[in-house]
Structure 1
Amino acid sequence: MTIRKVSIIGLGALGILFGHQLSKNMPAADLRIIADQNRIRRYLEEGVYCNGERCNFQYVTPEESCEPADLLIIAVKFTGLHEAIQAVKHHVGENTCILSLLNGISSEEIIGKTYGLDKVLYCVAQGMDAVKVGNKLTYDHMGMLCFGEKEPGVISERVNTLAEFFDQTKVPYQVDQDMVKRLWGKFMLNVGVNQTVAVFESNYGEVQQEGPARSMMISAMREVMDLSEKAGAFITEEDLNYWLRVLGALSPNGKPSMAQDVEAKRFSEVDLFSGTVVELGKKFGVRTPANQTLYERIKQMESHYTHI
């Protein structure tokens, strides 16, 4: 198997970032962005920009019949996942490899229920400090895609095929043989960083230095560590320090998507983060006071949106 046709759904920060990188290193006709007609019209009229460059994307609607993709990248927000799963049906064939760039720990399983887990590689996007304002994305660090099979210790043919394709298209990546642990580690980072920066209405710099924000962030992350043991992912102190180093390498002026949502008064993925942690805490009998506080603070902030 070789990867030639690539389809992407979702032009948020990650969709633009990796879509733009792919577009510079593969034939334009082989890269398709799936979007509804209204979005396509807006993208064509206003453009989509990545670090000042206008992206050269080919757009297709979900209704258009087409050759199935060899690689399908799902880069929507969690709230749009179920709609996206239906929208990509013409792009999924017998040999399609599906990558989910979504936050959280459940999107692969949800996608697998429709298309089969045998088509899904587990994936984590990490290390990027992209900020999207309107139709313009800027970043200092592209980060990388970490991917692998769900089963630990396995490097399959399709993993090697995807690695070869990313080599050709200059997409930074890492093959990981323990993706469940990696998924939980990134979830731990998101739970801490995304929510804390949103609540403090600040940026990465705020949580890269000692102070109330960093203390809150680490408390929320430790609650995920406690839960991971119950769930069989076994996040350790060494893992916590690894993810804090990932955070430390980001541009201090950057900010996660949840903070950008709060600024724009958009509803966030709080239910995916602290909402999930609090529910798992109840299930496993683990106390989660930091995440309970973050959940309540963000829900309170969002409660004012309808009055604006």
Structure 2
Amino acid sequence: MKIKNVSIVGLGALGILYGHHLSKKIPKMNLRIIADKDRIEKYQKNGIYCNGELCDFQYVTPEETVESADLIIFAVKFSGLHDAIKSVEKHVGDNTIFLSTLNGISSEREIGTYYGFDKILYCVAQGMDAVKEGNQQSYDNFGILCFGEKEGIDTPKVKRLADFFQEVEMPFELDANMNKRQWGKFMLNVGVNQTVALIEGDYGEIQKDGKARDMMISAMREVIALSSYEGINLTEVDLQYWLEVVGKLSPHGKPSMRQDLEAKRKSELGLFAGTVVELGKKHGVHTPVNEELHRRIHEMEQEF
């Protein structure tokens, strides 16, 4: 069964990125952006722009009855996931595939618990440097979506999505060990997002040698230490892989956490340092760098 109808919930930097791309590849009637009435009115009044181009989206509220989606993409912040899960109920059918582009290592568990893990494909969005300011999103690198089952890629569900992504020219990569890939991306977020947010800089600051890059790598190594207790076993090879990913980003780009603090919004601090510190206590592993990052960024947020 081919993928025809796609629904996206969340119009942050990634929601706009994928929505704008798909809007040029499939009929407008087959792409739905799910949002509440007030958000839709704001989007329609002010417009949503991607690299200076006005996005042509079809908006639907969670209450509207629609034809089932073959693919639902979650592109919200983790704090908004609970509401987002409920907002897509009228879009879910027997053959719906869920794909989450959220940071962290737990969104698939939340979605799968609600709708069933048979509908889940595990995903990591990497290599993009999209920045959103107001209704304007911009990027230099589109990046790729890496996906697969939690373990393995040889399933009809994976093939359906891979065939669709090939058809719509969506850059992707299949990974037979998505559990490890997600932990690798989590390690990256822990280092990059928090360090750049703390120093109030951009990717360029952690792409060059110095105190900021040292802090980033130290925070990432604490995740490596914890991963063995969780059965993931990240290594220095994985660290180097993700450092290479960071090195290819626009030096003027900024991660989502930095964008949140600039806008004086609560960030995903609990999802990053909070998770590391909690796992450290669970396994008796010292996590001083993430403890410091948590304390200092929390202090910044207290001033909002």
- Encode CA deviations 1:1-35: one digit per residue, 9 max, x unaligned: 21000000000000000110011111110000000
Whether the 8 Å contact between 2:184 and 2:242 is mirrored in structure 1 is yes
- Encode CA deviations 1:29-55: one digit per residue, 9 max, x unaligned: 000000000000000010000001000
Give the Cα–Cα distance (whole angstroms) in 1 for the partners of residues 155 and 5 of structure 2: 20
Report the counterpart of residue 228 of structure 1 in structure 2: 227
Whether the 8 Å contact between 2:153 and 2:174 is mirrored in structure 1 is no
Which amino acid in 1 is paired with 2:25?
A: N
Give the Cα–Cα distance (whole angstroms) in 2 for the partners of residues 242 and 97 of structure 1: 29
Report the counterpart of residue 190 of structure 2 in structure 1: 191
Per-residue deviation at 1:165? 0.6
Per-residue deviation at 1:158? 1.1
- Encode CA deviations 1:228-250: one digit per residue, 9 max, x unaligned: 11111111111100000000000
Give the Cα–Cα distance (whole angstroms) in 2 for the partners of residues 11 and 99 of structure 1: 15
Per-residue deviation at 1:285? 1.0
Percent identity of paired positions between Structure 1 and Structure 2: 64
What secondary structure is seen at the aligned counterpart in 1 of 2:99? strand
Superposition TM-score, scaled by structure 1 size: 0.98
For this pair of structures, how many residues does the alignment match? 304
Structure 2 residue runs without a partner (length 5+):
none
Per-residue deviation at 1:162? 0.5
What secondary structure is seen at the aligned counterpart in 2 of 1:233? coil
Which amino acid in 2 is paired with 1:248?
A: G
- Encode CA deviations 1:258-284: one digit per residue, 9 max, x unaligned: 001111111100000000000011001
What secondary structure is seen at the aligned counterpart in 2 of 1:123? strand
The 5-angstrom pairing of residues 117-196 of structure 1 reads 117-151=117-151, 153-196=152-195
Which amino acid in 2 is paired with 1:103?
A: N
Per-residue deviation at 1:105? 0.3
What secondary structure is seen at the aligned counterpart in 2 of 1:193? helix
Report the counterpart of residue 77 of structure 1 in structure 2: 77
Give the Cα–Cα distance (whole angstroms) in 1 for the partners of residues 91 and 283 of structure 2: 39
- Encode CA deviations 1:72-129: one digit per residue, 9 max, x unaligned: 0010000000010111100111110000010000000011110001101000000001
Which amino acid in 2 is paired with 1:86?
A: K
Query: Where in structure 1 do 4 or more consecutive aligned residues deviate above 4 Å?
Result: none
Question: Does structure 1 residue 54 correspond to structure 2 residue 37?
Answer: no
Per-residue deviation at 1:154? 3.6
What secondary structure is seen at the aligned counterpart in 1 of 2:132? strand
What secondary structure is seen at the aligned counterpart in 2 of 1:171? coil
Report the counterpart of residue 304 of structure 1 in structure 2: 303
Give the Cα–Cα distance (whole angstroms) in 2 for the partners of residues 74 and 217 of structure 1: 27
What secondary structure is seen at the aligned counterpart in 2 of 1:163? helix
Report the counterpart of residue 23 of structure 1 in structure 2: 23
Give the Cα–Cα distance (whole angstroms) in 2 for the partners of residues 182 and 240 of structure 1: 12
Report the counterpart of residue 276 of structure 1 in structure 2: 275
Q: Name whichever of 194-203 and 229-238 sits farther off.
A: 229-238
Per-residue deviation at 1:188? 0.2
Report the counterpart of residue 64 of structure 2 in structure 1: 64
Report the counterpart of residue 2 of structure 1 in structure 2: 2
Structure 1 residue runs without a partner (length 5+):
none
The 5-angstrom pairing of residues 226-305 of structure 1 reads 226-305=225-304
Give the Cα–Cα distance (whole angstroms) in 1 for the partners of residues 288 and 229 of structure 2: 17
Give the Cα–Cα distance (whole angstroms) in 2 for the partners of residues 264 and 99 of structure 1: 27
Which amino acid in 1 is paired with 2:200?
A: E
Whether the 8 Å contact between 2:153 and 2:175 is mirrored in structure 1 is no
CA RMSD of aligned residues (A): 0.6
Superposition TM-score, scaled by structure 2 size: 0.99
Question: Does structure 1 residue 45 correspond to structure 2 residue 42?
Answer: no
Which amino acid in 1 is paired with 2:168?
A: T
Give the Cα–Cα distance (whole angstroms) in 2 for the partners of residues 35 and 155 of structure 1: 34
